[in-house]
Structure 1
Amino acid sequence: MRLSFRLPAAAILVAGFVVPATAQDLRRRPDDPIPAQLETLYERGLSYLAKSQNDEGSWNDQMGSEPGVVGLCTIAFLAHGEDPNYGPYAKNIKKAVEFILSRQRESNGYIGSSMYNHGFATLALAEAYGAVDDPKIAPALKKAVELILNAQSRNASGGWRYTPESRDADTTVSGCQLVALLGARNAGVPVPDEAIKKGLAYMARCRGGDGAYGYTSAGGGKPTLTAIGVTCLALAKEKEGKGFTNSLGYLRDNLNYRDRHYPYYFEYYMSQALFHADEAAWNEWNSKNLRYLSTLQRPDGSWPGNKGESFNTAGALLSLALNYRYLPIYEK
């Protein structure tokens, strides 16, 4: 796999849902203490993203102009409980949302140049809906969801790949679209149950007997891909059955795994998968992840890597965001 938001692409998957503003509660709960080290890392990371954002709402590094990356940065702000209308980062959030909206095609609702971009951008719109005061978000989110559903209807596998016209599928792109659909549904956009079932069925066909997920088949399973599969099942409330149990066991056996090629992609997904499936395993992994990321953060608040500082920083922050649990996605 190659991690890129341009074609061909591999994937990262980050998830977060939003509900209408009347039900959204961004207050920090007193019974969820946040370690000082974590808060320092997160605040420094957000400060970096805010200062390095350009006037059009994107970032100038390697992948920072891709709508999917802008979407991840948007979610990173919201996941910290930042007020998107009046808070210190409100302008940053609104500029990022405007950038995503500007990249949506009027003809069919497609955002960006790949289904990765489209999926992550759709997810960001679902997060922003009901929280950001912008009447353009609702119709844009609806059109984005319709494109995902139409793409699936043309794909015999029931999954998704690089473009809306793709006839094959893989677990990374399919996982991305599934989470976007679930996020949109949680925001109030109608999503047929059958679409979720078909997507999950494709993912299941890529799961080996040991619970590990492969890229396009059940062979060659990896922890990163398995974290995607476990997260999709958990968010869809499909945590019963031998398949889920085997996959969770596989992740437990790989708590010390680090993806050398796509670290921030793996870390966030692993964090979410364990959080929803095994609290003890997540606590152990979360402590290690906090220490690991604290050794890598640069003095300016960014994280290093070959995918660009905006992507790296958003991914690192989102791997820590489960500690805050401001967004409904973090509720079990």
Structure 2
Amino acid sequence: MKFFLSTLLALSLVPALGQSLPRREANPISPQVEAMYAKGLRFLATEQQANGAWIGRYSGEPGVVGLCVLAFLAHGEDPNHGPYAQNISKALNYILDKQKASNGYIGNSMYNHGFATLALAESYGVVDDPRLAPALSQAVELILSAQKRNRFDAWRYTPDSHDADTTVAGCQIVALLAARNAGLAVPDEAIEKGLAYLKRCRSAQGGIGYTSPSGEKPTLTAIGVTCFALAKKKEGKGFATSVEYLRENLNYRDKYYPYYFEYYMSQALFHADEELWENWNAKNIRYLGASQGRDGSWPDSKGKHFATAGALLSMALNYRFLPIYEK
């Protein structure tokens, strides 16, 4: 993976029924998780700039800003009147400002576009901002048109790319599924073709590779399992073998993209096997508790803001507020 976000490392609208952030009553959150999450959000809020972004090599990327929005929403923060409402609003303003009016493209890579689109989808219906509906519609249309131009029926770094990889493809698939969940008319064919590409990159052992079945990795496999699970495509031997592959790699840590891995691994295991997720989640909480800085951030070569958003989102299944996290 030679790019990260910019280079990485991700119709008609109807009312978004069910797009709310109800308080989660069952399975109370542990004090440790709540303390870590609250500390991380305070760090993000304090570090946010007036334009809605964060300072750093990658921290001004719309995709990173989108992940930060998701981190706030995933904690059940009221996006209109809560203590972090202005942070969410400023971040969404930044994303909207980065969207090209001509074609709906957000940022300068499909990673940025995918994660920013996901943030718009999860915000639509809960954030009181009439600009979100047309912006989300345009963003989805760009993802769909990019897929139609791609010879693999998938995605890579730009809307005009003719090659594909599983990280960019996974980012777009999740964004499309979130948009569908928000009420947009996303064609089944687009989802099916995207999943078919991921299947072609899955090895007999269940692992998923970057552009082919060879060189499979837990991070890539977690992306694939997340996509199939969210698409309600969990039947069949292929999905089961991928889950088993992740089971065999519960102690894996991605040394290059640790928080990107955790972000997807938490979702993959939660949707595939909740007992397996509980096992991994307990280990992840211990790991994050030991690595969180005094200022509430997590360190990473890609920047504290991306790392912190990723770390928080890897714990967000403990809250289960985001519609995309619903089973």
Specify the alignment match of 1:254 in structure 2. Answer: 249
Q: C-alpha displacement at 1:327, in angstroms?
A: 1.6
Q: Using the alignment, how far apart are the partners of 2:113 and 2:18 within structure 1?
A: 26
Deviation at 1:331, TM superposition (A): 1.9
> What is aligned with 1:196?
191
15, 25, 32: which one pairs with 2:27? Answer: 32
User: Quick one: distance in 2 between partners of 1:162 and 1:146?
Assistant: 17
Q: 1:161 to 1:22 in 2, by over 3 A?
A: closer
Match of 2:2 in 1: 2
- Asked if the contact 1:83–1:89 (Cα under 8 Å) also holds between the matched residues in 2, the reply is yes
Query: Secondary structure at 1:27's aligned position in 2?
Result: coil
Matched, 1:225 2:220: yes
Counterpart position of 2:101: 106
Encode CA deviations 1:259-302: one digit per residue, 9 max, x unaligned. 11100000111111000011111000000000000001111101
Paired residue type of 1:307: K
CA deviation digits over 1:52-103, x for unaligned, max 9?
0000000002211100000000000000000000000000000000000000
Cα pair 1:227 1:273 within 8 Å, conserved: yes
Cα distance between partner residues in 2 of 1:84 and 1:306: 30
1:317 maps to 2:312: yes
Could you tell me how far apart the structure 2 residues matched to 1:27 and 1:82 are?
Answer: 10
Residue 16 of structure 1: aligned partner: none
2:227 alignment partner AA: C
Query: TM-score, normalising length from structure 2?
Result: 0.97
Distance (whole Å) between structure 2 residues aligned to residue 128 and residue 242 of structure 1: 35
Whole-angstrom CA distance in 2 between matches of 1:30 and 1:159? 39
Which of 32, 40, 44 pairs up with 2:39?
44
More moved, 25-34 vs 130-139: 25-34
Tell me the number of residue pairs that the alignment of Structure 1 and Structure 2 aligns.
324
Q: Name the SS of the counterpart of 2:121 in structure 1.
A: helix
1:123-272 alignment to 2 at 5 Å? 123-272=118-267
1:191 partner amino acid: V
Q: Please name the residue that 2:64 is paired with.
A: 69
Distance in 1 (alpha carbons) for counterparts of 2:136 and 2:34 = 31
Letter of the structure 2 residue corresponding to residue 105 of structure 1:
K
Q: Secondary structure of 2:38's match?
A: helix
Matched residue type, 2:148: S
Deviation at 1:4, TM superposition (A): 1.7
Q: Is the 8 A contact 1:53 1:59 kept in 2?
A: yes
Native 8 Å contact 2:74 2:320 kept in 1: yes
What letter corresponds to residue 283 of structure 2 in structure 1? Answer: K
Residue 79 of structure 2 is aligned to residue 84 of structure 1? yes
> SS of 1:160's equivalent?
coil
Deviation of 1:330 after TM superposition, in Å, equals: 1.9
Deviations 1:172-217 (A, max 9, x none): 0000000000111111111100000000001100000000000000
Which of 277, 281, 285 is matched with 2:280 structurally? 285
Deviations 1:2-37 (A, max 9, x none): 352223x23xx4xxxxx9566344232332210000
CA contact (8 A) 1:3 1:262 kept: no
Contact 2:19 2:182 in 1 (8 A): no
- Structure 1 stretch 229-238 or stretch 59-68: which is displaced more? 59-68
- Alignment correspondent of 1:298: 293
Q: Which amino acid aligns with 2:179?
A: A
Structure 1 contact 66–112 (Cα < 8 Å) conserved: yes
Runs of 5+ unmatched residues, structure 1? 14-18
Whether the 8 Å contact between 2:147 and 2:154 is mirrored in structure 1 is yes
| Deviation (angstroms), 1:42 | 0.1
How far apart are the structure 2 equivalents of 1:78 and 1:21? 16
Match of 2:54 in 1: 59
Quote the Cα distance in structure 1 between the aligned partners of 2:95 and 2:15: 20
